[in-house]
């Protein structure tokens, strides 16, 4: 009930509904690789380091899509850019059924490009639809991304089989194409923008230290979210020796609390500053990953996943809101470096977890990378919070 009040319905209410639906599908696909990792490992006979290269392919594709985002936005506008992104996700998703590692890598990279186009376009379009309540609006739309992330594992487990993801991937492909068509033929009128305006991200925003600290913050945080989403299912099955195909799992609990946190975040923004919410969230995140790393109990693994998900929930949308509030209305057209670094962070940190796991033959050791990333985020937040947020340094 409270959620519907926070969804910005002016001036593109019907479009906002489509964006939320599209973000549910994007959430499913973004974390899908982590949920099907055991199937791919068995089918393609891959070790952890080789599986890590699949994550690199996804985020390399996402980086490429993000790099194309500004140019496509200037030439095509939001709606056609989103349609292209949904088509790429549909084709890449269908390609996951190949029995060749090369073609699976190509498929993952293809839908990664679509993710890289779609996520920044939806986030920035939402800011343009409701600039006065950007923090609340961004938390709300990313709530629907989280709904998709929650649905990803049950979707695969109960529509697919233990050795095949053919049915869920083909269903996803059809839904992506359908939503893309609805968006591109919606009656929303985009404001005119020139290509130069869309690409003008070097001056003056990206000559400031504040902008780069915010972008580095996103680099580290997306790395954490991607690593947890990518490896938590494997971590549970390998270290806890608990069957990972049931309804109750660490991945499900993590994404459930991530979504719940985004759902209630607008309430906290009425009483607390964005810096207060961010500092609290980062402390909670660090506590959650510590609990996950030290426990040998399935129950406490679930508790740690819940704490980690709750801590992660509002960090990305609140950091994006901070960027647009500090740099004003032009920020939506100049945000590409933040998403580029986010894609790089997702690729690098997730790959490092797999590399450390293979090196020490321990996924618990790999999760040390996530803990160190949480600590680094706290340091970055202290730097940003103690700077004058009303004046760009």
CATH assignment at residue 117: 1.20.1250.20
Q: Residue 153: which of 295, 255, 266 has the closest Cα?
A: 255
Q: Count CA atoms within 13 Å of residue 248 on its CB side.
A: 7
Residue 370 included in any domain: yes
Question: pTM of the predicted model, to two decimals?
Answer: 0.74
* C-alpha–C-alpha distance, residues 291 and 66, integer Å: 34
pLDDT of 142 reads: 84
Residue 152 included in any domain: yes
Q: Residue 176: which of 93, 108, 96, 259 has the closest Cα?
A: 93
Residue 305 included in any domain: yes
Mean pLDDT of 257-283: 86
One DSSP character per residue, 120-156 reads HHHHHHHHHH-GGGHHHHHHHHHHHHHHHHHHHHHHH
| Residue-level length of the chain | 393
* C-alpha–C-alpha distance, residues 300 and 295, integer Å: 6
Burial-class residue 323 by CB neighbours within 10 Å (0-12, 13-18, 19+): buried
What is the number of structural domains in the chain? Answer: 1
Strand partners, 161: 164
Residue 3 included in any domain: no
Mean pLDDT of 135-161: 83
Q: Predicted confidence band at 11 (pLDDT cuts at 50, 70, 90)?
A: very low
Residue 23 included in any domain: yes
Q: What is the pLDDT of residues 88-141, one digit of tens each?
A: 999 999 998 888 878 889 999 999 999 999 998 898 888 777 766 666 778 788
Instruction: Point out the least confidently predicted range of 47-51, 96-100, 150-154, 274-278.
Output: 47-51
pLDDT of 344 reads: 86
Instruction: Point out the least confidently predicted range of 206-215, 324-333, 383-392.
Output: 383-392
- Inform me whether the pLDDT recorded for 310 exceeds 80: yes
pLDDT of 44 reads: 79
Residue 230 included in any domain: yes
- Inform me whether the pLDDT recorded for 391 exceeds 70: no
Residue 2 included in any domain: no
Q: Residue 32: which of 53, 50, 55 has the closest Cα?
A: 55
- Residues of the chain by 3-state class (helix, strand, coil), percent to 5: 85, 0, 15
Range of the domain at 205: 8-386
């Amino acid at each position: 009930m409270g959620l519907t009040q926070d969804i910005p319905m002016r001036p593109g209410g019907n479009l906002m509904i489509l964006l939320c639906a599209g973000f549910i599908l994007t959430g499913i696909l973004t974390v899908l690789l982590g949920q099907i990792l055991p199937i791919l490992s068995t089918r393609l006979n891959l070790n952890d380091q080789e599986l890590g290269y699949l994550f690199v392919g996804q985020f390399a594709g996402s980086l490429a899509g993000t790099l194309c985002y500004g140019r496509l936005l200037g030439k095509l506008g939001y709606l056609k850019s989103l349609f292209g992104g949904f088509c790429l996700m549909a084709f890449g998703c269908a390609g996951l059924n190949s029995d060749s590692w090369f073609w699976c890598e190509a498929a993952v990279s293809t839908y990664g490009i679509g993710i890289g186009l779609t996520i920044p376009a939806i986030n920035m379009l939402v800011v343009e639809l409701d600039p006065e309540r950007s923090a609340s609006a961004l938390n709300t739309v990313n709530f629907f991304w989280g709904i998709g992330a929650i649905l990803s594992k049950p979707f695969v487990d109960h529509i697919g089989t233990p050795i095949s993801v053919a049915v869920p991937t083909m269903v996803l492909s059809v839904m992506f194409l359908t939503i893309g068509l609805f968006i591109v033929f919606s009656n929303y009128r985009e404001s005119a923008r020139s290509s130069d305006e869309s690409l003008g991200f070097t001056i003056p925003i990206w000559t400031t230290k504040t902008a780069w600290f915010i972008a580095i913050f996103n680099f580290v945080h997306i790395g954490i979210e991607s690593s947890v989403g990518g490896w938590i299912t494997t971590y549970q099955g390998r270290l806890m020796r608990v069957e990972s195909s049931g309804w109750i799992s660490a991945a499900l609990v993590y994404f459930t609390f991530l979504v719940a946190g985004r759902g209630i975040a607008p309430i906290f923004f009425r009483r607390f500053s964005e810096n207060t919410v961010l500092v609290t969230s980062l402390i909670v995140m660090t506590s959650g990953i510590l609990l996950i790393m030290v426990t040998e109990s399935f129950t406490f693994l679930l508790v740690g996943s819940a704490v980690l998900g709750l801590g992660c929930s509002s960090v990305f949308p609140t950091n994006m809101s901070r960027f647009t509030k500090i740099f004003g209305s032009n920020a939506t057209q100049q945000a590409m470096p933040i998403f580029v670094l986010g894609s790089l962070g997702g690729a690098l940190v997730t790959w490092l977890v797999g590399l450390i796991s293979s090196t020490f033959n321990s996924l618990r050791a790999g999760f040390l990378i996530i803990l160190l990333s949480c600590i680094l985020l706290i340091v970055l937040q202290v730097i940003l919070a103690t700077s004058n947020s009303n004046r760009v340094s």
